[in-house]
Structure formats: C-alpha cells, structure tokens
Amino acid sequence: MDSLIPVVIASVCRYWRSTILSLPSAWSIINSESVWTYDTAFVYVKTFLERSGPTSVHLHLPYIIDGKLSKEYKSKFFIPIISAASRITCLWISRRYFHGLLQNCFPNITTLSLESTDRDITTSLFKRSNFPALRSLNSGGCTWVSDSSADSPSLPPLKYLSIGKTCGTIWIRVVQEFSTTLKGLAISLSYRRLPQETVHFPLLEYLYIHEFNHPDTCPIQAITPVLNTYEEYLRPRSQGLNYAIVKNVRYLRSFDAHRLASYPSLEIFQLSADDTVLVALAKQLKQREELCPNLRRIEFARALRANPNLIDAAKRMIKFARPHIELVQLIFPPRWSHLPGSGNDLTVRNTTVLGTLTDHLLV
C-alpha cells in the first residue's frame, strides 16, 4: 500500500476523512521514503504516529535527514518516535539514527533493518535489555567490529540474520553467536581473504548466499541438518556446495543447474540462467531417471539474449522426460513464487490494512 494513501483518502470528503481517522490501523505503515524535506518528514512521521495510536506500527525513517542536521533537529525528530517506542514492531533506519535511537529501549521491535554502507557496529548495539523481542536483524552494509566492552552483552535470540558486508572476521563470530537460534541466514560475500569456520545451525531452515567475487575459501561451512530452502547466487566455478548440507533442501533458487544430484529432496527449482543451462538441466532429467525424484515444478527466468529455439527444445525435452513437472517460464524481471523462510511480513501487513480500508469505505 502506498504510504500516502491514508492522507489522500482523508482529503476526499468529510465522510471518508472521519472514517479513515477512526481506523488507527490505517496509519500504522509509516514509510517516509517519499518525503523529501526535513520539515515534511517530521510532520509526516509525527502525524502518523499520533493517528495510529494505540496500534503497533512499522516505521521506515527517511534517508533525507541524514545530512548535516544539528543535534537540536535530530532530537526534535526523535521525541515522537521515542514516545511511541512501545508500539513500534518493525524499524528501518539509516546510519545517522543509530546512536540517537538505538540506545533507547524498544520493547516490542521484532524486525530491525539498518540501511548503511559505511558504519561500524557491534553486538552491544542490540543488547537484550533494549531489544528483548528482536528476532530479525538486517545489518545492511555495516561492518561488524569488536566490542570495546570487556563484558559480552546479553543478546536476544535472533531467528533471522542478514549480513551484507563481510569485511574482516568479526561477522563470522556474530553468526556463531546466534547460530543455535537462527532459522534464516543471508550473507553477501564481498571479500576474498576470509577464514574458514565450521558452524552448526540446528534450526536453520533458510540460507541465502551471494558471492560478489570468488572467496579464496568458503568462510563458513554450515552444518544444516534441517535446511529446507537454499537461495544461492554464486560466481562461475564456485565451491558453493561447501557452504551447507543440502541433502534435505526442497526449494532451490540458483544460477546453476549442474549439481542437481546433490539435492535428492528437491521439489521446486527456480533457475535464472541462459539457454545453455536450461538445456543442461533438460539433459540431466532425461538421462538420469533417479535424479530429483520429487521435483514437481521448475521456474525458469531466461537471460535477455537467450536463444528462444534452444529454450523451446529444452522445454520439450523436460516435458518428455518428466511429464508431471510443471514448467513455468518467467519474463524479466522475474516474479518468483514464494520461497519458504524468505517472506516479508510487511507485505502481508500492507495487504491486511488495505483490505480493512476497503471494507470500511465501500459500505
């Protein structure tokens, strides 16, 4: 739902205005990304926080006030946010807010996303006393560094962790810190010289690996006995399979189709590749009847310059070899079907709020 829809509805007529003002949930998605000045951002956030009370809110703070704002300006902006801290369940912030906001207690935040590429962070920033309900943390492009404190802080039991910058080695220790509780882990590898660690993830069901270059070694060898969904974006000739145990994976999204034998439990395969990779997949399925016996759906997003004749030939080969498989070709940019473990709760919430508005206004 567009973040300004409640404002638009309120301006239609008196009846619609009174209706929308009587629905706190209609104001609970606060996304100020579309607001371009400090003054309007402040009014927008303050107004939505007031009108959404007492419901829980999702708050996306604007990047535009990251500039050279005085402490007085930032303090003024933070006052209504801190006052509503107990109602905020999801928070997206950029680097200028970190130490101005995150030093406060947000007792009900479950999802926290940091939008930055040039900020050092430590685990003490997310101590349990300030974030007792935190379960999902996206550290964006922040660099994890050692904590200067002698005492290790008590941390909340994260279920989902996303790390977008793998500079140094501290991020590996962070992953180890949460390994026993994580159900989802996303890592973007962008540095070559990394140590190699074996990490046990007894509960991990979803794993995302994105290689921006070739690491000299696999930095983490994940022991993942219950891994269900694996999403990989690997470089050519990568050692990708060394990242995790994939024998129980049922859902796979990848650039590659040459290692299907390593996925005996595979049911849904989402492939983004050129025509030659789809042909290679078709040949495997034709020549090896025992390969992926549970495979029931293939979603294929072809490269823009793919040869349509080769693609058609590969599709016919797959249908001949495995007639029960549902083969879906997607156009660019692809809209994949949902992968278990990789969902966005905000999308679901937006749909719910929009349905509520419709129910009340169209009676």
What is the predicted pLDDT for the residue at 21?
Answer: 92
pLDDT at 69 over 60: no
For 257-340, the fitting CATH number among 3.40.50.720, 3.40.640.10, 3.30.70.100, 3.30.390.10 is 3.40.50.720
Give the mean pLDDT of 77-86. Answer: 90
| More confidently predicted of 310 and 99 | 310
| More confidently predicted of 353 and 76 | 76
What is the predicted pLDDT for the residue at 90?
Answer: 96
pLDDT per residue over 106-120, tens digit each?
999 999 998 876 788
Average pLDDT, the chain: 83
Domain boundaries, the chain: 257-340
Categorize the per-residue pLDDT at 102 as very low, low, confident or very high, splitting at 50, 70 and 90. confident
Categorize the per-residue pLDDT at 208 as very low, low, confident or very high, splitting at 50, 70 and 90. very high
pLDDT per residue over 127-145, tens digit each?
999 999 999 999 988 888 8
pLDDT at 58 over 90: yes
Lowest mean pLDDT among 168-182, 283-297, 298-312: 298-312
pLDDT at 239 over 60: no
The reported pTM is: 0.86
CA distance 110 to 98: 17
pLDDT per residue over 317-357, tens digit each?
999 999 999 999 988 788 899 999 885 433 333 334 434 44
Categorize the per-residue pLDDT at 7 as very low, low, confident or very high, splitting at 50, 70 and 90. confident
